[in-house]
Amino acid sequence: DWTMRAFKDHAIETVRRQVGSGRVICGLSGGVDSSVVAALLHEAIGSQLTCVFVDHGLMRANEADQVVTVFRDRFNIKLVHKDASDLFLGKLAGKTDPEEKRKIIGATFIDVFEEEARKVGGADFLAQGTLYPDVIESVSFTGGPSVTIKSHHNVGGLPDRMNMKLVEPLRELFKDEVRALGRELGLPDEMVGRHPFPGPGLAIRIPGQEITRERLEILRKADAVYLDEIRKAGLYDAIWQAFAVLLPVRTVGVMGDSRSYDYACALRAVTSTDGMTADFYPFPHDFLARVANRIINEVKGINRVTYDITSKPPGTIEWE
Ligand code: XMP
């Protein structure tokens, strides 16, 4: 795609001019936007870039490994991988309120990021994957009642606290253009085409219960089976987001000759263009039956599977 190649060359020039010989820090989450920023900056300024991946222990199966493999091993980017799962899970102990969980995760994320940035000697610039819709959204809400449905966590506030200037090379792009740029930069397809994933991760997919390693492990397994079947059915790219939710209820089942008493889980899949509104995805029943069978057979701890048929509004995409 020559337009994207031209955009890439232009963006690289702009970054080089802005940054000069300065040092840049970039927070990596494994998501599309921060991945593309990191790859672009690496091409523009090489070793002046350090990426910091704060691993909160709330990622899906294999995601943390993938980030390290792609960026450190394949791209040879300077990458700090901070496993902070004990700290995050410790702070989340006993917490079940969705907003409280988001706030704890957001604040802890900033603390850990700041500390890791200090350890590598700080930087002059902070790189962020701000997209064009984020730019307009932050200026378009004028007047009207302001109701916070969910306080989304991002790294807002960090640049001020850390006294850094911002580098935001994706500010003119929409999501599909970011994906095209990512491909142009040689990022793997599974990373560039990835569904959005919320900053607080799996913590908001274990509603109404304490987040424990055991529950996270059960949820990860169910989620991985579900996504595996979605990929096998060739449906991944037709869906905006798909995930499993571990419900705060145990139900009675029968496995072979014996009674089981395990968790129920819900499966969610939606189509959307921007996440603001969404429709549930109309899977064929045989697909749902296949996923349910596999989850119940393969995931110890789950004995019942339901499918969420709520659209947004009135529902939200995540359960919390
Ligand atoms: P909702 O659940 O509000 O989600 O319909 C809309 C989109 O936002 C994602 N989401 C979040 N992203 N921090 C994030 O970075 C959050 O706290 C958060 N909560 C929801 C959600 O996955 C969907 O893509």
φ, ψ for residue 51, nearest 5 deg: -100, 140
**Residue 33 annotated as part of some ligand binding site:** yes
For 1-29, what is the mean pLDDT?
95
CA 314 to chain centre: 23
Q: Which position has the token pair 């102990």?
A: 93
Cα(318) to ligand 1 centroid in Å equals 7
pLDDT at 109: 95
**45 near 23, Cβ under 8 Å?**
no
Nearest one of 16, 36, 11, 12 to 26, comparing CA atoms:
36
Among protein residues, the one with the nearest Cα to ligand 1's atom 4 is 317
Enumerate residues 6+ apart whose C-beta is below 8 A from 56.
Answer: 84, 85, 88, 105, 108, 109, 201
CATH class of 206-307: alpha beta
Q: Could you tell me the CATH superfamily of domain 2-192?
A: HUPs (3.40.50.620)
Which protein residue has the closest C-alpha to ligand 1 atom 3?
316
Q: Can you tell me the distance from the alpha carbon of 125 to that of 121, in angstroms, rounded to the nearest whole number?
A: 12
Give yes or no for a contact between 292 and 279, defined as CB atoms under 8 angstroms apart.
no
Q: Counting atoms of ligand 1 from 1, which one is nearest the CA of 240? A: 24
- Which among 130, 318, 319 is the best mutation to test ligand 1's pocket, defined by most ligand atoms within 8 Å of the CB? 318
The ipTM estimated for the assembled molecules is: 0.99
In this predicted model, what pLDDT tens digit does every residue of 37-89 receive, in sequence order? 999 999 999 999 999 999 999 999 999 999 999 999 989 999 999 999 999 99
User: Would you say 30 is a known binding-site residue?
Assistant: yes
Q: Ligand 1 centre and the CA of 196: distance in Å?
A: 8
The per-residue pLDDT for 234 is 98
Confidence of residue 160 (pLDDT cuts 50, 70, 90): confident
Q: Which two tokens stand for residue 298?
A: 């393969």
Could you tell me the pLDDT band of residue 141, with boundaries at 50, 70 and 90? very low
193 assigned binding-site residue = no
Give, using CA atoms, the residue closest to atom 7 of ligand 1.
275
Q: 78, 167, 169, 157: which is closest to 124 by C-alpha?
A: 167
The yes-or-no verdict on residue 188 having pLDDT over 90 is yes
Pocket test for ligand 1, best of 110, 223, 317, 320 (most atoms within 8 A of CB): 317
**Atom 17 in ligand 1: residue holding the nearest Cα:** 152
Of 286, 210, 191, 292, whose CA–CA distance to 244 is shortest?
Answer: 292
Where in the chain are the domains?
2-192, 206-307
